[in-house]
Every structure is written in C-alpha cells, then in structure tokens.
Amino acid sequence: MKEAILVAGSNGAIGKAVCEAILAEGNYKLLTVSRTAAHFSGAEHLTADLSDPESLPAVKSWLDGMREDLAGVIHCAGLLHNSRVKPEKALSQLRAESLAECLSANVLSHVHLAQAVEHKLRKDDPFRWLSISARIGSIDDNRLGGWYSYRMSKAALNMFIKNLSIEWGRNYGQVSVAAMHPGTTYSPLSEPFTANWPKESIFTPELTAHRVLDCFSSLLPEHSGTLYHWDGEVIQW
Ligand SMILES: NC(=O)c1ccc[n+]([C@@H]2O[C@H](COP(=O)([O-])OP(=O)(O)OC[C@H]3O[C@@H](n4cnc5c(N)ncnc54)[C@H](OP(=O)(O)O)[C@@H]3O)[C@@H](O)[C@H]2O)c1
C-alpha cells in the first residue's frame, strides 16, 4: 500500500501545484486540507480552517480513518494580505488585528496541524514535515524593514519549526522538520507586489512545486531544524 502525503493550504497557488505534482508522480496517496471544498479527484479531502483550534478533533478523526501510513506533511498555508490585512510600510500602520490575523494564518494553522498529526508519529519511523515559510521571516536577513505583521508571523513560524524539530527529534528519532522559502512565485499572495518585476525573476507555481517536492523528498533527520532557500541553500534563522 502507498504511503500518504498531506498537503495543507491545498487550494493556494503553490499548494495546488504541489498537489498536482504529487498526483502526476503517483508515488503517494494524496491527502488535502483546505478551507474550500474538495478540488482534486484522486485525493482524500478535508474541508477545515486550520487556523481555528476547533478544527483539531475533525482533522484527528479524519486521519484516523486513513488506512495508509502518513509519510509526511507539506504545509502551504500563509497570509500576506486580504481585505483587512495590508503589509505595513511604517510602524504607524501596524494594527493589532492585522498582526493577530497573520499569526493565526501563518503560525497557528501550522501549530494546529502538527498537534493533529502528532499521534500518527511512531518512534523510529521516518516522518517528514515541511512548512512553506518565507525568507522575509529571517531576522538575520532583514535589511529592508516594513511588512511588520508578515515578517513577525513568519519569524514566529520559523521558531515554531525549530522548536518542533527539537521536540519531535527527541521523541521520535527519525523525524525531519524543516521550513522552506519558495522564492517569489506567481500567486494571489504575490500578485499586488510583483507588477513591475521582470518576469524572469518570478517563478511559476509548477516550478516552485517541483522545488518543494525535491526539498521534501531529500529531508533526512540530520536536516531537521533548517530553513531552506528554494535553491537548497540554508538561510540563517
Ligand atoms: N508566492 C510567493 O511569492 C511567496 C513567497 C514567499 C513565501 N510564500 C509562502 O508560500 C505559501 C503559499 O503561498 P501562495 O503564494 O500559494 O499564496 P496563496 O495562493 O494566497 O495561497 C495561500 C493559501 O493559504 C491558506 N490561507 C490563507 N489565509 C488563511 C487563513 N486565514 N487561515 C488558514 N489558511 C489560510 C489558503 O489555503 P486554502 O485556500 O487551501 O484554505 C490560501 O489559499 C505561503 O505560506 C506564503 O507565505 C509565497
């Protein structure tokens, strides 16, 4: 029986392309979680808002109904802007509500899913977790400032991934937990900010999805606790 990979945020541009690539390769059973209804044939889908802690019991019991072993998770959910959240250019624009919404989407949706899958992990069985984060969340790498809510929430996600890598590494041995910066990719998230960029500096979701799967597939326990750039380089936290 095939093992399964769970993709969260499966209706986003990168998430959807990752799912399509997994289905095209055919090596794994695909499980998808999204706030929207099922959007792939050939996948098992759960509609859930992972930023809401009340989604946890439904995710757990859905996973318990799967016959396949879970090989890993690729978490693609994230928020930069919506009708209420706009990336800040100055301190005066920073609002508690925007920061809370970014923390909810960019951190809590990852935390809740980790809490929901933890009971599927077995001591000494391999398991991979890859969260799509952003270079902009690296504190060392911050030279431009701005985008307070997004930067702060991605920095918090990065710390969550580092912490999780330590705890799961201690408890389960063969687990690898990492984060990845996908590079600027055509999507609703990047679209308002890339209008004047040269086209060759923006990646298609399909290219990014292949890089995400390459990163996921090559994760070993010794890589746990790392933030990867899309080209495989390690980014300082
Ligand atoms: N595109 C880029 O240039 C770029 C660059 C650096 C990092 N990233 C990161 O890559 C990831 C994917 O981004 P994308 O470009 O594919 O963006 P996207 O098309 O906007 O997809 C983001 C997905 O995140 C989920 N999401 C958004 N708000 C949420 C909320 N409040 N609660 C729970 N889930 C929420 C949604 O998934 P569902 O609709 O399936 O629920 C949404 O479709 C994000 O983490 C982003 O920060 C992207």
Q: Which of 6, 11, 14, 153 to mutate to test the pocket of ligand 1 (most atoms within 8 A of CB)?
A: 14
d(C-alpha 5, C-alpha 13), whole Å: 18
Mean pLDDT of 45-58: 98
If we measure between CA atoms, which residue out of 111, 98, 188, 191 comes closest to residue 147?
98
Predicted pLDDT of residue 225: 98
The CA–CA distances, whole Å, from 4 to 1, 135, 201 equal 9, 28, 33
Average pLDDT of the chain? 96
Predicted pLDDT of residue 39: 81
The residue type of 157 is L
Q: What interhelical angle do 148-172 and 96-103 show, nearest 10?
A: 30
pLDDT in tens, 215-230: 999 999 999 999 999 9
Q: Which of 150, 158, 189, 202 to mutate to test the pocket of ligand 1 (most atoms within 8 A of CB)?
A: 189
Write the residue with the smallest CA distance to atom 5 of ligand 1: 184
Q: In the sheet that 29-34 helps form, which strands lie side by side, from edge to edge?
A: 43-47, 29-34, 4-8, 70-75, 127-132, 175-180, 226-228, 234-235
Please report the atom of ligand 1 found closest to the CA of residue 50.
33
If we measure between CA atoms, which residue out of 72, 21, 38 comes closest to residue 204?
21
- The domain that holds 49 is classified in CATH as 3.40.50.720
- Whether the per-residue pLDDT at 195 is higher than 90: the answer is no
Dihedral of the alpha carbons of 121, 123, 126, 131, in degrees to the nearest 10: 50
pLDDT in tens, 9-22: 999 999 999 999 99
Q: Exposed, middle or buried: residue 78 (CB in 10 Å: 0-12, 13-18, 19+)?
A: buried
Q: Are 97 and 84 in contact (CB under 8 A)?
A: yes
Which residue is it, tokens 């408890």?
171
| Sequence-ordered alpha helix ranges (H) in 26-95 | 56-64
Q: Which of 16, 35, 102 to mutate to test the pocket of ligand 1 (most atoms within 8 A of CB)?
A: 35
Q: Exposed, middle or buried: residue 113 (CB in 10 Å: 0-12, 13-18, 19+)?
A: buried
**Which residues form the pocket of ligand 1, taking CB atoms under 6 Å from any ligand atom?**
9-15, 34-36, 49-51, 76-79, 104-105, 109, 132, 134, 181-182, 184-185, 187-190
Q: Residue 74: give the domain boundaries.
A: 4-235
The CA–CA distances, whole Å, from 2 to 29, 82, 181 equal 6, 38, 28
pLDDT in tens, 98-122: 999 999 999 999 999 999 999 999 9
The number of distinct structural domains making up the chain is 1
Please report the atom of ligand 1 found closest to the CA of residue 135.
6
Which residue is it, tokens 């504190």?
139
* pTM greater than 0.95: yes
